[in-house]
Amino acid sequence: MAASKNYGPTRLVVGAHYGVIDFIAQRITAVIMAIYTLVLIVGMLVMPSFSYESWKALFTFRVYAIPVGQILATLFFLALAWHAWIGVRDIWMDYVKPAGVRMLLQVLTILWLVGSVVYFAQILWSI
């Protein structure tokens, strides 16, 4: 009986460098969120009052008819959703061992995140 080879060119490699790409993606999304948070804090500090009109202006300002406030907020929320997906997916992969339960949790997480992004876009872009 021949022993199975677990090395060399016949070895099945799954997910090579998978963690590196996720690590980089999570760091990039964190930087996007940090920069937007700083921009939002500066905007709140220079805001004349905490009224509805001031808050609306903070998220809907335009530069040459381009809705910069809405684009930046959307970029932030997409980065937040992607950041959350990577983190929660890693938690499910590390701590939930039954494959069926893990897959169900991942699908529910995706549905929740997509629903959140759609709801956010509906609110922001209807202002």
Extract the annotated binding site for heme.
83
Please list, residue by residue across 99-119, b when 16 or more beta carbons sit within 10 angstroms of its beta carbon and e when fewer do: eeebeebbeebeeebeeebee
Q: Could you give the CA distance from residue 113 to residue 117 in angstroms, rounded to a whole number?
A: 6
Residue ranges for the known binding site are 83, 95
CA distances from 59 to 38, 121, 124 (A): 14, 12, 8
120 and 76 Cβ atoms separated by less than 8 Å: no
For 64, list phi and psi in degrees, rounded to 5. Answer: 55, 50
Residue ranges for the known binding site for a ubiquinone are 95
